[in-house]
Amino acid sequence: MRVGLLGFGTVGSSFAEVLAAQPGSGVRITRIFNRGVGRKRSHEKARLVPAEAVWTEHVEEVLEAADVDVVVELLGGLDPAERWLQAALLAGRHVVTANKQLIAYRGAALFALAAEKGVQLLYGAAVAGGVPVIPGVAQGLSGDRLTRISGILNGTCNFILSSMESGAEYQGALGRAQAAGYAEADPSADVDGFDARAKLCILARLALHAEIDPEEIPAQTIATISAVDFSYAQELGCTLRQVSRAELVDGMVSAGVGPMLVPRSSPFAWSQGTRNMVVTSGLFGGDVVFSGHGAGGHPTAVAVLSDVRAIAENSVQVRLPAHRMKVVGDVLAPHYLRFVVADEPGIVAAIAAVLARHQVNIDSLLQHRGHPAARLPFVITTEPCLSSTVTRAIAEMAQMAFMVQPPLCLQMLVADDPETV
């Protein structure tokens, strides 16, 4: 199987390293496209590429080459990656990609083109890095009727939040993630949930047979989380993680991405560092948990090479039809509300009055000592209610004069959810 590699960055160079460690695999790199080829050829891992491989700054020399059987795209983004992979498929080349944005936004059209041309388009590295959740769901669980999929899909956010669990503030934890190479200089795609919701769309198509638009999925940032939230969460028997969830409900998909309080008994609470975790819930097979490293060049390269070898062995992925479905972001759940106020008499009564007007019942009130009166944090948890109802109440509270910063509202996963057992 002769590989034309698009991109020799972190994952591309790791792919060369992983492949070199498996002599006799029957897979060989024949061409590499990258801008600044001279610089890339001086990379220490470039010595692991076969000496006869052609390096080029012209992508057509890969896409149109007679000595390329499969195009491996490791560049990311929608454009020009979409055009290049279309050209590869039209030319009768198999394609392997780790590009979650491309598969989430343009996957349906690319799959149709691949089927028309009788070639394969595999994307096992697009979700959870080296964790085989894509082939696991496609092959191992295709016999079940999956009704829900949830997970920790972004290793960067998991690294930040599990660091904050030890007392770090957000900016410090983000800085460490950037220094370690887990977060970009502009971390918004990760911390604001856009990366995770693209992955959630891919999983929803595969597991729930639901074609959904990533832009329709509500995404909440983790940037508003503070160390004090972990302190209150601990008192509630919980911790915080960025959780992505999609569930079939009355012919629609209830979906969302954001930081949530998860019980300490939940597998999500056990996930530390850059580890990813995916939980599928099936009508017949029950819950299945996938877990492993979701960030970094080596885990992702393992998934890429696994896809290439699957094509080399003529392994055909099970494909079931997906149908366009409407996304519903409103969820019935208990909520965690954290306020930071300039202390004065009547604050709790004023907040309780707003919640009562919106028919939201208070479950508990928590306030720790030792904080200055000018910036006093405290927490109210609610009984299960619709997230849209709480959002309206929060918008009203945010206008109150004693609020020092906007209130924080997070969903709470409850202990009888299957993925918390």
The pair of structure tokens assigned to 193 is 């949930």
Q: How far apart are CA 221 and CA 195, in angstroms?
A: 11
Task: Identify the DSSP state of 53.
Answer: P
Of the candidates 40, 45, 100, 199, the residue annotated as catalytic is 199
* Maximum Cα–Cα distance across the chain: 78
pTM score, whole prediction: 0.93
Is the separation of the CB atoms in 400 and 260 below 8 Å? no
Q: How far apart are CA 235 and CA 220, in angstroms?
A: 23
Chunked mean pLDDT (size 10), the chain, 421 residues: 96 95 93 94 92 96 96 95 97 96 95 95 93 93 95 95 93 94 91 97 96 96 97 97 96 96 94 93 96 86 95 83 92 97 97 98 95 96 97 97 97 67 39
What is the predicted pLDDT for the residue at 328? 94
Is the separation of the CB atoms in 256 and 218 below 8 Å? yes
Is the separation of the CB atoms in 188 and 194 below 8 Å? yes
Domain 133-293 has CATH 3.60.15.10: no
Q: How far apart are CA 128 and CA 203, in angstroms?
A: 11
What is the predicted pLDDT for the residue at 183? 87
Q: How far apart are CA 351 and CA 336, in angstroms?
A: 14
Domain 2-122 has CATH 3.40.50.720: yes
Q: How far apart are CA 28 and CA 43, in angstroms?
A: 19
What are the structural domain ranges in the chain? 2-122, 133-293, 332-420
What does the DSSP assignment read for 96-108?
EE--HHHHHHHHH
Residue keyed to tokens 């936004």: 105
What are the residues whose beta carbons fall under 8 Å from the beta carbon of 94, sequence distance 6 or more?
A: 69, 70, 71, 119, 120, 121, 122, 311
Backbone dihedral region of 314: left (phi > 0), alpha (psi from -120 to 50 degrees) or beta?
A: left
Is 199 annotated in the active site?
A: yes
| E strand segments, 22-81 | 28-33, 54-56, 70-73
Which one, of 385, 378, 340, 338, lies nearest residue 361 by Cα?
385
The CATH homologous superfamily to which domain 332-420 belongs is ACT domain (3.30.70.260)
What is the predicted pLDDT for the residue at 415? 62
